[in-house]
Structure 1
Amino acid sequence: MRLAATILILLLLPSPWLHAQTRVWQGELPLATSDEGPPNENPPFDIFATDRFVYPYSMREDVRSSETVHNWRAVFLENEYIKCTVLPDLGGHIYTCIDKLNGQPMFYANPTLKKALIGYRGAWSAFGVEFNFPVSHNWVSLSPVDYAFSSAADGSASVTVGNRDRVYGMEWTVQLILRPGSTVLEERVTLTNRSDLRHRFYWWNNAGVQVWDDSKIWYPTPFTAAHGFADVDTWPVNAKGVDLSLVANHKDGPVSRFVYGSREPFMGIYHPHTDAGVVHYANYSDLPAKKIWSWGEDAAGLAWRKALSDNDSAYAEVQAGLFRNQETYGFLEPQQVIRFSEYWMPVRHIGGISSGNLNGVVYLSRKADANGKIALTAAFNTNRKVQHARIAILDGGKAVFEEVASLDPAKTWSHTLNDLPSDRSYTFLLEDDNKAVLLKHTEGVYDWTPRDEVKTGPQVAHKPDLDTAAGLLEQGTNEELQGNLLAARKTYQRGLAAYPVSLEFLKAEGRLDVNLFRFEEASNFLKQVEDRATWDGETRYYRGIAERALGHPREARTEFEAAYRDPSYRVAGGLMLAELLAQQHDVHGALEVLAKACPEASIASSSQRCSEDIVALKRSAGQTDEARSLAGTLLETYPTDAFLQHELVRLGSPNPGLDRYLGSDVDRILALVVQYDRLGLYADSLALLSRHYPAASADETEPDAVPPSQNPLLAYYRGYCREQLGESGRADYQAASKMSLRYSFPSRAETIPVLRAALASNAADASAHFLLGSLWFSKGIIEPAEDEWRRAAALRADIPTLDASLGRALLQINQQPAEAAAVFRHGFQVDASNPALYIGMDKAMQQMGKPATQRVAMLERFPKHVDMPAELVRALVDALRENGQSDQADALLAEHFLPRKEGAPPLEPKANAKPKKAD
């Protein structure tokens, strides 16, 4: 409790700026945080996944029950009414915003960041506001992200957070803005696909809000839908007669419902416990979807409050998204950008939430009189000062109350009318002194779908007819949208087998093969489409990528030129064409194409990568003043853009923090290197790859971070860039071959020629063979991957994770348990503490019919000084039971797992105890 009190004091400390303009500054926030062991060293290849596709990130599954206080970097954003805290090293979460008028937190300010295995990569914690793109509880929910902060000439201040993911190379940014005199926190969201390929995505803004039993969810909808649209139910009282808007009624486990049949733009939670709450607002056309999540009283037999907090606090989640539910994804096309805003506002002393917009929030409540009439109370929080506002209560078109008042966020306006007829609906009307309507709400009147048009109860589940071409295409598309690209490829192959001349299947397969590094096959399929659908710019675009990867620049140029002429691919095709020209030293031609594809007049709303390329090419062409001016202007739009920041450094503007930022995540360096390489600016890449980067603190890095000086991929790229500049890369390749390969998960197509160049220099480079094998295997290219891994194993016997990965491939894909067991046995000599070896060996022994006694003996050889992961515990428990050692199995369960109620789901490890969420 002492730490919680300290946090509250820090957040509420008054400042001399209390009545001045908004301000923003960086500091620290001490928070007790769950300890973690090292991330899983084994690459989480997609081919072994079912629903969460993580590669090239590592899995963070070793969450401990112990805690340590961390002084997290924090950015504070404050005006007269609100003080917000943003944590850039924890996914960019808003930790909370304090309503300074009543001292209440808008969002769940969990005093302990208590982790559980909920996130996309495992570790996750419940607090504040989480930004989810392109998946929920995303890859970097507890990782450092990019950030910047600034003040503007209009008196506002902002914090920008964002991230470019390693899986798809797409980027999100959220600019959080406070303006002087306003209680509204604005989120300006930008979602960008700056990669070459289309990728699946969605956006869900997830705000945790602390709740008590009397907290009420104000969810303006008559109906809600379940996950997967499995059923539609009534709201707030469901088909069982339970009012789910009241948190105290969440007794039957989690409540997870999506809005249905409503176009209302607001939602919120109000707490009689504190007489305060929070409201979310977004234009329906921008952000239509809403979701409420609550764990319920005793979720799945597990005390979730203890699992997620140290003070038994409860929270609910208020979520807003682009699509109707969290099973629905869309495709974001290459260079496509989506922008929208959403808003948060505190409410206090009004008792509830009837309606709200950016001008304020109103609550209309009734109380029956003894004489059968009602007392109607209207209470209103304004979000800014409004002089000479006209407030009226209407009965139809007739005003039963009217006054002119000056409204102030610091004062709640309210009025009670007595002796009103109970059979009438009353309207609250707020106008400014020019009679412009600021807010109007009639009791019970909302923008809802008529009830007789909605079918409640179980919904019909549609399944594609896989005996038809349309059904197979639908199935493949759905699999792509769920991130299961390898399953989608099998579906498209099935379609091609049945319909070998189908343009749709040829295009789908070819486009997907580009994504999966099967460039020759992709080019062949797409050429068949191109010969018939001569108008299709998308086909030309993707075939151009395949031809470029195959080392055919002339063919690639022809394809990109055709794509560039298609309006739908003007920007993406023009960008690829320009980068190809630049790589061939035609800087003038590249700039000419970029000027047409993404002209400077609209560059701030065009492709961000276009903008970066223009700056770099102008600098390289000697147009330094133009490059400097453009980069400075663009940074106002893209304040977290490391490429533009680096360009300004190259142009002579010092930036002492940039090297620390880049050095804290090798992937940030590689992202810049790949972009410079595409422009033929290998000297810029080499400078980045040769630099000494200062060490960042552990909290500023991914837990599996390898320092740049020790990262083999950087060294391989360095040698490659030297060769492109006419120098020898042999020394760099040799240095790379001697570096540790732990947590080296290559994923970029650009890494293929780099590793091939290293092998051309030294065919006996085991590290290059191993990394190339991992790259192939990450895309489901099995035989070449296994060949490379075998070459690596023959050259070097001590590569960590090689035996675990190769053994698993032999066991699960090749169906060769004996061969897999031999590989696992070798792995025990190399890395005896790798759980994947024991789990794999156990499965191999089962398939070979080995007795349980041998399996128990093998599993019990796992080192005692290493924490045994849950999957390995379960394997040993099963083997013990099969061997007749039930008492030992029960003791092992009691040691590692929390007790569960009868009929509850499978056991969870003590350190990670928390039921899974359905999102």
Structure 2
Amino acid sequence: MKLRSISLVMALGLYLGTMAQVPSLTIKEEVMSLKTYNFNKPNPVPILTDNAKIFPYFKFEEYEHVAKKKNWKVVTLENDYIKVFVLPEIGGKVWGAIEKSTGEEFLYKNEVVKFRNIAMRGPWTSGGIEFNFGLIGHHPSTATPVDYKVISNADGSVSCVVGNMDLPSRTVWRVEIKLEEDKAYFETNASWYNASPLNQSYYNWMTAAAVVSDDLEFIYPGNQFLEHGGDAKPWPIDSEGRDLSLYKNNNFGGDVSEHVVGDFKDFFGGYYHNKEFGFGHWAPYDEMPGQKLWLWSQARSGGIWEDLLTDHDGQYMEFQAGRLFNQYFPGDTNPISQANFEPYVMDRWREIWFPFKEIGGMVDANENGVLNVKESDNGLYIGINALQNLKDTLQVEINGKEIFTEALDLAPMELFSKLLPKQPKGEIVVKVGNSKLHYTNNNKGSLLKRPFKDDENIVVSENAKLYHEGWEALKFRDYALASEKLKQLLDREPAHQGALLKLAELEYRSTNYSTALIYVNKVLKQDTYLPEANYLAGIIYRSQKDYINALESFGWAARSMQFRSVSFAQMAEVYLLQNNFKKAELYTQKALDYNLYNINAKQIQLLLARKMSDKSEFDRAYNALLTADPLNHFALIESQLINNDLPLSVPNTIKNEFPNETILELAIYYQGLGLTKEALEVLELATNDVKADLWKSYLLRESNSTRSQQLLTQVLKSPIDFVYPYRAETTAVLEWAHSRDQDWKLTYYLAQNYIAIGQYDSGLQLLQDCGMEPDSHIFYRFRAKMLNDNNYPKKENDYLKALQYKADDWKIWEETIQFYLDHDHTDKAYKMAGKAYRTFSPNANIGLIYTKAALLVDEYKKTIEVLNNIQILPFEHASESKHIFTQAHILLALKNIEHKRYAKAITLLETSKQWPENLGVGKPHTVDERMQDYLLAHCYELLNDPDKKKELLGNIISRLQKGNTYGSNDLYRLLSLKKMGRETDLVQLQEKLSTAAAKGNEEAEWVLSLFKKDYNIPLKTKSGLKRSVWKILQASSKL
């Protein structure tokens, strides 16, 4: 590995004297040249139609098959015991960590940077610790640069602080990766702040990785695990009697995703019994109760990812620590729900990550060390691995009687091991000091009584259900669904306070302040003191510049602890807007009295000190702010302003992927406080940025109209690529600009902003108003996606127009072909796909969509030919390639059956069962081959091989049914039972399918129809089937 030092190499080393064994501590920032499979081709079309929840981010479309060396910044923290690597340009992740005495990794360190399409924006690479904040896992910044800072701390420790702003929610996260000289662990001290005045989605999981092997034991305290939907299952022994805590016993089913719960313990991890080495995580249970186990399937469906994510480092697992019990997806009925992130709240928590060795396992762990206790026929084994200097007394008790004691004096990573004689049955207690480490074999005291299953006997009213669904949708950033559910509730109960307030919040998000106030006042007419209603009234009045009513409303909201700090901070900001510095100072302090980490209040405190020329107070507030938030860019701007360092320079902490977004956020913050001069000074830091120029033009509209117009003209000359207005504050800017000039670019920007904040109809109308004037493929692709499917001619015109402007872009061809397929214009799709394939081959995306089009026009040989020569990297639709492969072979087999070429049909059907890995998929443990087996049975019947026929039909009938789930392949069980003359079983299965169909299972409905040879299936059901599947099922039912 080629190393090249750059500007910063900090060695905090440390007086060695004459003793070679004195610990040393270093931190350095360098550039490493790493083998990298990179990603590229950012998609400039606004993501509002595909995943509006993460707008204004965009996706990447291409991933490299061949590695190249690439330079990456690496921060390395090292002491005598461990070595930790951080990648600030790849999401700020911990790259890996090594225990030095063994050379073993206690965090999986992938020696190649191999990006694959897994994350919310696409690229993701395995290993280390990924810090996830926001909505769901693999956050939008996981593969791109974040802000960071290397620090030498006053206590002698060293830190690398990484962080970023989550653009959609405008929340800010930080993680301090800290190492001390005399510790065999490192810390991650996280903080996450909601700087917005609204509720935001809440998701945090620290995704750590470790290598897997058959000797690996998962040490996860608990007695149940939760699935993503919240359903609880037994742990570690499952319902089949398998011990899931052993990696080798998970060699069944698909990928494993289990959130272990039920025990009030602070630690979890794993241990490799053959190499006698382990890894672990510790955090106070109240801070990090979540402990998730993720495993790739041990079938090839998971094994293929070993090759796709690394070159030589082997398969890995994830041991994830979370702020919540599980990574919940809304929808299922159980006690688990979405969490909420309240305004002006900072959450902070501390975790440690550590290695241990040669003690056989772990029954307790914390900053002091790792303890293992094991009873066997050989005696009572006690092992301790110190993680820092551990000088105390070890005591062992049996049934309250002390049987052994010994003084310990261990250095970090030093071991203690003792085998005591076998003890009589009873309660064993092993402890070091005053609970520095503690174990008892009576663990019932730490088991939780919390219910993880719902009570089927509890009847929830329809109104309560609608409110729950609406609130859950709001917390999941599904604002349209939230509005729909809450309005349904108001139709049933017009005075429902919760629904009125949540709708007020939704209208506030959309800048419909008058409507929001109507909802709030309906609640205040019922309860004038209600804190949430008063808080919402306060922020609405503030947005309307009605400061008296804002202050009055905030005052009532502050009577509640929930809204006290944020309301006082809002009042401070309002007083600052009114230049009432003394009152602003008073309410800033009141806000901090009840929330020491109210960053908005701390920032106002710093700003006021500058405004009042109080240098001493400024220095105090500056240090306090950076202590709470070491990457606070506002503090660095204020430091320049108080020293009159103009023009401003970009703070050296801004190193993220979107520095102009950070700068614009700062400028908007100043403008929101009425500080136009400071806002303009900050905006000058943005380079070549359309949104910054729009804001400057707007802010100068009265004071310098000439410069304002110049800036607006500059905006109109700039390309629209990757310009994504999304903030509520920017709508007023764009409305002003649009009133000055109706150029299509301004109309397009305003349309985006309206859609982003929830004014969908207004945004769509603006897109329509642009007509055919725009000269950018981006615009036409976006509008085509946004238009209702009923607008087929307009959508087609937009796609064709986009191709006119950029015919050399494979992505536009793919989108246009998919558009034709979606509207059943398969001939057009096939013709265009063939041309695209000839132009862009070997592009796998084009190849895949070509096979889809070919399949749907009955060109099965062409489909198979292309699939045999394609190389697909896995992505969210990778399984589609296998479906196309299977269906093409089966449909070609059916043609051969039709022409009585049964041997050829058998070969095709057997081939259809294969899982070629060039298609980007691997074979899972369990596959459903009933479709092929039934057709094979038919062929063998016609070839006079009754034994083979009977065997195949018997396999179909005996295939285990999972619960009461039914799919298209259940047709083959019906047909097989009929062929085998098993009338009783046939009737029973028909009854079960009828019951499922009556409960809304459409697949059960059409399976029954096909079995009865009734092909007049309702349109909504038939249209949901892929045409090729329908052909196979219909042909099968006629055999």
Contact persistence 1:367–1:375 (CA under 8 A): yes
Q: Please tell me the residue identity of whatever aligns with 2:803.
A: F
Q: Specify the code of the residue in structure 1 equivalent to 2:389.
A: K
Work out whether residues 808 and 840 of structure 1, in 8 Å CA contact, stay in contact via their aligned partners in 2: no
Identical aligned residues as a percent: 23
Aligned residue number for residue 142 of structure 2: 141
**Any residues of structure 2 matched to 1:127-166 within 5 Å, and which?**
127-134=127-134, 135-166=136-167
Single out whichever of 888-897 and 131-140 deviates more from structure 2: 888-897
Q: What is the aligned partner in structure 2 of residue 428 from structure 1?
A: 430
Is the 2:10–2:27 contact (alpha carbons within 8 Å) kept by the matching residues of 1? no
The one-letter amino acid of 1:775's match is N
**Is residue 758 from structure 1 mapped to residue 737 from structure 2 by the alignment?**
yes
Corresponding residue number in structure 1 for 2:1023: none
Q: Which residue of 1 aligns with 2:243?
A: 243
- Structure 2 equivalent of residue 316 of structure 1: 317
Q: Show the counterpart of 2:379.
A: 375
Q: CA separation in 1, counterparts of 2:457 and 2:338?
A: 17
Could you tell me how far 1:565 is from its partner in structure 2? Answer: 5.4
Q: Shift of residue 904 of structure 1?
A: 10
Distance 1:563 1:865, change over 3 A: farther
Q: Which amino acid aligns with 1:770?
A: Y
Deviation at 1:882, TM superposition (A): 1.7
Q: Distance between the aligned counterparts of 2:366 and 2:256, measured in 1?
A: 26
Larger CA deviation: 503-512 vs 829-838:
829-838
3-state DSSP class of the match of 1:300? Answer: helix
Contact 1:110/1:127 (8 A) holds in 2: yes
* Cα shift readout 1:492-511 (whole Å, capped 9, x = no counterpart): 12222222332222212111
In the other structure, the counterpart of 1:703 is none
- The match for 1:695 is none
Give runs of aligned pairs for residues 14-93 of structure 1, distance below 5 A: 19-20=22-23, 22-45=25-48, 48-49=50-51, 53-93=53-93
Larger helix percent? 2
State the Cα distance separating 1:742 from its structure 2 match.
Answer: 0.7
SS at the partner of 2:67? Answer: strand
* CA positional deviation for 1:24: 2.8
Counterparts of 1:662 and 1:128 in 2: how far apart (Å)? Answer: 21
- SS of residue in 2 equivalent to 1:723: coil
User: What is the 5 A alignment of 1:551-700?
Assistant: 556=550, 558-564=552-558, 566-598=560-592, 605-652=596-643, 658=651, 661=654, 665-691=659-685
Per-residue CA deviation, residues 737-763 of structure 1 (Å, 9 max, x unaligned), is 111111111111111111122223x32
In structure 2, the CA distance between the partners of 1:399 and 1:586, relative to structure 1 (3 Å rule), is closer
In structure 1, C-alpha distance between the alignment counterparts of 2:278 and 2:459, rounded to whole Å: 48
CA positional deviation for 1:380: 0.7
Q: Secondary structure at the match of 1:62?
A: strand
Letter paired with 2:367: L
Aligned mate of 1:710, from 688, 691, 700:
688
The structural deviation recorded for 1:793 is 4.5
**Structure 1 residues 332, 467: closer, same or farther in 2, change over 3 A?**
same
- CA 628–426 in structure 1, closer or farther in 2 if over 3 Å, else same: closer
- C-alpha distance in structure 2 between counterparts of 1:448 and 1:592, whole Å: 46
Identify the residue that residue 449 of structure 1 maps to in structure 2: 447
Match for residue 541 of structure 1? 535
Alpha-carbon shift at residue 27 of structure 1 (Å): 2.1
How do residues 174-185 of structure 1 correspond to structure 2 at under 5 angstroms?
Answer: 174-185=175-186
2:123 and 2:356 mapped to 1: Cα distance? 32
Q: 1:543 to 1:896 in 2, by over 3 A?
A: farther
1:199 aligned partner, one-letter code? Q
* Matching residue of 2:755: 777
| Aligned with 1:490 (options 465, 484, 493) | 484
3-state SS of paired residue (1:731): helix
TM-score norm. by structure 2 comes to 0.77
SS at match of 2:693: helix
Please show how residues 92-111 of structure 1 align to structure 2 within 5 Å: 92-111=92-111
Q: Partner amino acid for 2:651?
A: L
* Equivalent residues of 2:368, 2:390 under 8 A apart: no
Where does structure 2 lack aligned partners over 5 or more consecutive residues?
329-336, 883-916, 925-1039
Number of the residue aligned with 2:344: 335
Distance 2:359 2:157 in 1: 28
What corresponds to 2:800 in structure 1? 825
> What is the SS of the residue equivalent to 1:317?
strand
Gaps of 5+ in 1: 369-373, 692-707
Deviation for aligned residue 1:527: 2.4
Computing the radius of gyration over CA atoms, which structure comes out larger, 1 or 2? 2
The question of whether the paired residues in 2 share the 8 Å contact of 1:833 and 1:862 is answered with: no
What is the DSSP-based 3-state SS (H/G/I as helix, E as strand, rest coil) of the residue aligned with 2:64?
strand
**AA partner of residue 275 (structure 2):** T
Q: Distance in 2 between matches of 1:158 and 1:534?
A: 49
1:149-228 correspondence to structure 2 within 5 Å: 149-228=150-229
SS of corresponding position for 1:172: strand
Output one character per residue of 1:217-265: Cα deviation in whole Å (capped at 9) or x when no partner. Answer: 1112233232213341231x32222222222222123222111221111
Q: Measured at CA, do residues 3 and 300 of structure 1 come closer, stay the same or move farther in structure 2, by a change above 3 Å?
A: farther
Q: Which amino acid aligns with 1:344?
A: W
| Alignment pair present for 1:741 and 2:720 | yes
- Residue 395 of structure 1: which of 368, 393, 398 is its match? 398
- Contact residue 42 and residue 836 of structure 1 kept, 8 A: no
- CA deviation after TM superposition for structure 1 residue 911, in Å: 9.9
Return closer, same or farther for 1:503/1:438 CA change in 2, 3 Å cut-off.
Answer: closer
TM-score, normalised to structure 1, is 0.87
1:571-619 alpha-carbon deviations (Å, 9 max, x no partner):
32333333344345444543343233335xx77x231122112222332
Q: How many residues align?
A: 866
1:596 counterpart letter in structure 2: K
C-alpha distance in 2, partners of 1:454/1:168? 32
TM-superposed CA distance for 1:640, in Å, is: 0.7
* 8 Å CA contact retained: 2:851, 2:867: yes
The answer (yes or no) to whether the contact 1:74–1:85 under 8 Å persists in 2 is: yes
Q: Partner of 2:503 in structure 1?
A: 509
Q: Is the 8 A contact 1:115 1:125 kept in 2?
A: yes
Higher relative contact order by CA 8 Å / sep ≥ 6: 1 or 2? 1
Q: Check the 8 A contact 2:821/2:853 in 1, yes or no.
A: no
Per-residue deviation at 1:12?
15
Q: In the alignment, is the contact (CA less than 8 A) between 2:115 and 2:123 conserved in 1?
A: yes
Tell me: CA distance 1:892–1:43, structure 2 relative to 1, closer, same or farther (3 Å).
farther
8 Å contact 1:107–1:209 — kept in the other structure?
A: yes
Counterpart CA distance in 1 for 2:142 and 2:923 is: 18
Change in 2 beyond 3 A, CA 1:622/1:423: closer
What residue identity is the alignment partner of 1:469?
N
Deviates more, 1:729-738 or 1:464-473: 464-473
Which amino acid in 1 is paired with 2:718?
A: M
- Tell me if structure 2 keeps the 8 A contact 1:348–1:381: yes
User: Does structure 2 retain, via aligned residues, the 8 Å contact 1:193–1:337?
Assistant: yes
Cα shift at 1:103: 2.1
How far the C-alpha of 1:469 sits from its partner, in A, is 1.3
1:469 counterpart (463, 474, 478)? 463
TM-superposed CA distance for 1:849, in Å, is: 5.3
CA 68–53 in structure 1, closer or farther in 2 if over 3 Å, else same? farther
- In structure 2, the partner of 1:816 is 791
In 2: Cα distance, 1:520 partner to 1:915 partner: 57
Change (3 A) 1:597 1:292: same
How far apart are residue 357 of structure 1 and its match? Answer: 2.4
The letter of the residue matching 2:29 is: Q
SS of aligned partner of 1:532: coil
> Is contact 1:172-1:192 (8 Å) kept?
yes
Q: Does the 8 Å CA contact 2:11/2:25 hold for their aligned counterparts?
A: no
Shift of 1:15: 10
Q: 1:855 aligns with which of 829, 834, 848?
A: 829
Deviation at 1:658, TM superposition (A): 1.9
The letter for the 2-side match of 1:661 is: I
Moved more, 742-751 or 62-71: 62-71
